[in-house]
Amino acid sequence: MSALNFLISKTIMHVPGPVVSIFAKSYIAGQELSDAVRVTRDFNKQGIMTTIDLLGEFIKTKDQAKYFKERCIEILDTINKEKLDSNLSIKPTQMGLSLDEDFALENIREIVAHAASINNFVRVDMEDTPNTDKTLKLHAELKKEFGKSVGTVLQSYLRRTPSDIDNLDPKDLNIRLCKGIYNEPRELAYKDPYIVNQNFIHCLDKLFAKGAYVGIATHDEKLIFESLRLIEKYNLKREDYEFQMLLGVDEQLRKIIVDGGHRLRVYVPFGKDWLPYSKRRLKENPKIATHALRQMFGI
Instruction: Kindly list the catalytic residues.
Output: 125, 176
Stretch 10-39: interaction string toward ligand FDA, x if CB under 6 A? ------------------------------
* Footprint on residues 98-157 left by ligand FDA (CB under 6 A): 125-126, 153, 155
* Footprint on residues 52-81 left by ligand FDA (CB under 6 A): none
Nearer to ligand FDA, 72 or 245 (CB): 245
For the CB of residue 61, give the shortest distance to ligand FDA in the complex, in Å.
23
Tell whether residue 219 is among the known ligand binding residues: yes
For the CB of residue 183, give the shortest distance to ligand FDA in the complex, in Å.
11
Q: What are phi and psi of 123, to 5 degrees?
A: -100, 120
* Footprint on residues 234-293 left by ligand FDA (CB under 6 A): 244-246, 249-250, 267, 281, 284-285, 288
Q: Which residues contact 131 (CB under 8 A, 6 or more apart)?
A: 92, 93, 97, 98
For the CB of residue 100, give the shortest distance to ligand FDA in the complex, in Å.
21
Nearer to ligand FDA, 62 or 290 (CB): 290
Tell whether residue 218 is among the known ligand binding residues: yes
For the CB of residue 146, give the shortest distance to ligand FDA in the complex, in Å.
19
Tell whether residue 126 is among the known ligand binding residues: yes
Please list the residues that pair with 165 across neighbouring strands: none
* Footprint on residues 187-226 left by ligand FDA (CB under 6 A): 217-220
d(CA 77, CA 230): 36
Please list the residues that pair with 178 across neighbouring strands: 155
Start-to-end Cα distance in the chain: 18
Tell whether residue 13 is among the known ligand binding residues: no
For the CB of residue 288, give the shortest distance to ligand FDA in the complex, in Å.
5
Residue 177 binds ligand FDA, judged by CB under 6 A: no
Compute the Cα dihedral for 244, 249, 253, 255 and give only its sign: positive
Count of residues near ligand FDA by CB under 6 A: 24
Q: Which residues contact 225 (CB under 8 A, 6 or more apart)?
A: none
Tell whether residue 78 is among the known ligand binding residues: no
Q: Which stretch binds ligand FDA (CB under 6 A): 41-49, 92-100, 111-119, 178-186?
A: 178-186
Residue 40 binds ligand FDA, judged by CB under 6 A: no
Question: 180 and 156 in contact (C-beta within 8 Å)?
Answer: yes
Residue 178 binds ligand FDA, judged by CB under 6 A: yes
Annotated binding site for FAD: 126, 155, 218-219
Annotated binding site for substrate: 91, 280-281
Catalog residues that contact ligand FDA under the rule CB under 6 A: 125-126, 153, 155, 176, 178-182, 217-220, 244-246, 249-250, 267, 281, 284-285, 288
Annotated binding site: 91, 126, 155, 218-219, 280-281
